[in-house]
Structure 1
Amino acid sequence: MRIAVYGQKFYEKNIPYLNQFIGYVYSHSIEVHIEKSFFHVLSSFEEFKNLNFPVFSHYKELKTKNFSLMFTFGGDGTILSAITFIRDSGIPIVGVNTGNLGFLATFNKDVFIKKIDQIFNKKFHIIPRSLLSLKTSIMDHKKFFNFALNEIVILRKEMVSMITIDAYINNEFLTSYWADGLIISTPTGSTGYSLSCGGPIISPENKNFVLTPVSPHNLFSRPLIISDHQKIYLKVHSRVKSYSLSMDTRLISLNQENELYIQKAPFYIYILQEEKNTYYKTLREKLLWGMDQRN
């Protein structure tokens, strides 16, 4: 079996968990490839100076070498960065939560090692998550990963004035948003930025997207849920030449002449999830649903 390992930051308190993981893969003759930058992070710790694993630095290396799993060590942001390597390869992600919130990184570091046999035998659910795909009228995407697992966000830039975003659904005019920006979110991303701007929570099995305005200037401008089979066209008007566009953790600047075409991506990202850690259980634990200070 061949697996990939990815992370961004690493803290000394997590060394015992990774040490146990490394001991397990060694003893079971599992071939491990570590993302190059994360390998250098780990090598800065005395305990991992003698690591002798091959590294990868490009998504094509994962796609052509038949990997069975990717383990991510961090939080949800780490998984969002990891998908730029996974892309359409279909490699399931095992998210080991060494961070704080963890809607996607569902395996807590404290119980991760106890479940490792079941993980490698894929005894858990593999949950497909839909993505957003972006095309623009001007920008060349060859050097930019133009898919988002959580959301695509358009925001004003270099000014305090609002921007105007003309929105069309399947070529039919929807509305003009007068706002600081607009969030187009997947069900996965509905618990993120969209939620903080008043958007609804959508369970992952739903085939929807949600459009959530950021600080709209009219009271009747509300989040809108649409089918993920529909195509979205956006045109931005601003007092300055450019606006900001983010896709998950990646941020770029676009000229306002650049029109946006958004639709469902032609592939899924697959997340390994423990059976008892259902989506609703995660909501209760992470968002403290049902918690009352009086109890």
Structure 2
Amino acid sequence: MKVALHGLSLKAEHFPQIELLFQELSSHGFEIFATDSFDRQLKMNGNKLLSYWLLENSDEISQMDFIISIGGDGTLLDTVCVVGSHEIPILGLNIGRMGFLATVATDRIPEAVKYLAEGNFQIESRSLLRLDSNRRLFNGIHFALNEFTIHKRDTSSMITVHTYIDGKYLNSYWADGLIVSTPTGSTGYSLSCGGPLITPEAKSFVITPVSPHNLNVRPIIVSDDSEISFKIEGRADKFMISLDSRSSSISSEVDLSVKKEKFSAKLVKLPHYHFFDTLRQKLNWGYDMRN
């Protein structure tokens, strides 16, 4: 089987875990490939021992059986962009911090590789959202696993985001910005702005205002079969939009709408993993914080 490795930021302290990963993959008969960014990280850290093939173009991704994201949740979001519509199963190895998406700890590397080799895992489909516009944005990578956001620039005054669901007027948000989140993204930026937690299998989007002027405005959950469109007004000429960690500056003349992408992200779920377990661990549910 063929496995690709992807990472954005490695440090010397991570190399024992990286070497262990290579050893386990090789011992189980995997043919190892590396993305260009992961190859650069290995060379920057002086690698001379690890052996792998370099993925020379994006089309070669389609030939992989798995891709392992080595980093934190930000790296896994970037891995989703690397995979794109090929829907290659992604395993998140967490050498970052939070780990809502990259759930495999480094001390479970031998176990995780063994599960992959034996086929002892499940594939969890995570819905993506798609941004449509009358301008080319984000170098044509116009989908996101977590969220799409509209935000004022820098210290400018708040903006007004007129929002429509399937062409029907919903609300005008006077706020610093607006978030449209997938169920996966409900544990991220949306949560920090008061949005609800949504289980991954829910077929919905959540619209969450950022610092709204009207305190009666609350997040709203809508069907992910909906198309959400926007018209933006403000004193400034430019506004910021983002897809996950990628951002761009636009003017109010740009048409924007969001809907569910046709393809999805396929995340590898190992035995004994459950989303509720991750919630309890990462959010410290069930712990008495008074001590």
User: How far apart, in 2, do the equivalents of 1:50 and 1:57 lie?
Assistant: 20
Q: Which residue does the alignment assign to 2:118? A: 121
Amino acid at match of 2:37: S
TM-score for both structures, normalised by structure 2:
0.96
Q: Which runs of 5+ in 1 are unaligned?
A: none
CA drift of 1:293 comes to 2.7
Q: Which amino acid aligns with 1:101?
A: M
**Is contact 2:122–2:270 with CA below 8 Å preserved after alignment?**
yes
Deviates more, 1:29-38 or 1:164-173: 29-38
Paired position in structure 2 for 1:189:
185
Query: Could you tell me which amino acid in structure 2 is paired with residue 256 of structure 1?
Result: S
Asked whether the 8 Å contact 2:73–2:98 carries over to 1, the reply is yes
Q: Percent identity at matched positions?
A: 40
Match of 2:207 in 1: 211
Preserved CA contact (<8 Å) 2:138 2:248:
no
Match of 2:133?
136
Aligned to 1:42: 42
Inter-partner Cα distance in structure 1 for 2:109 and 2:27: 17
Please name the residue that 2:55 is paired with.
56
Distance in 2 (CA, whole Å) between partners of 1:50 and 1:112 is 19
Please, which of 82, 91, 106 is the counterpart of residue 103 of structure 2?
A: 106
Q: Any idea what SS the aligned residue of 1:160 has? A: coil
Q: Distance in 1 between matches of 2:27 and 2:38?
A: 22
Answer yes or no: is the 8 Å Cα contact 1:59–1:87 preserved in 2: no
CA contact (8 A) 1:158 1:240 kept: no
Q: Give the residue type in structure 2 aligned to 1:6.
A: H
Q: Give the secondary-structure state (helix, strand or coil) at the position aligned to 2:262.
A: coil
Residue from 278, 284, 291 that aligns with 2:287: 291
SS in 2 for 1:225: strand
- TM value normalised by structure 1: 0.94
Instruction: Report the Cα offset of residue 159 of structure 1.
Output: 4.0
Taking only aligned residues, the RMSD between alpha carbons, in angstroms, comes to 1.5
| Deviation, structure 1 residue 158 | 4.2
1:8 matched residue in structure 2 = 8
Query: Where does structure 1 differ by over 3 angstroms across 4 or more consecutive aligned residues?
Result: none
State the number of aligned residues.
Answer: 291
- Contact 1:166–1:235 (CA under 8 A) maintained in structure 2: yes
Residue of structure 1 in register with 2:238 after alignment: 242
Cα deviation for residue 121 of structure 1 reads 2.5
Q: d(CA) in 1 for partners of 2:118 and 2:128?
A: 27
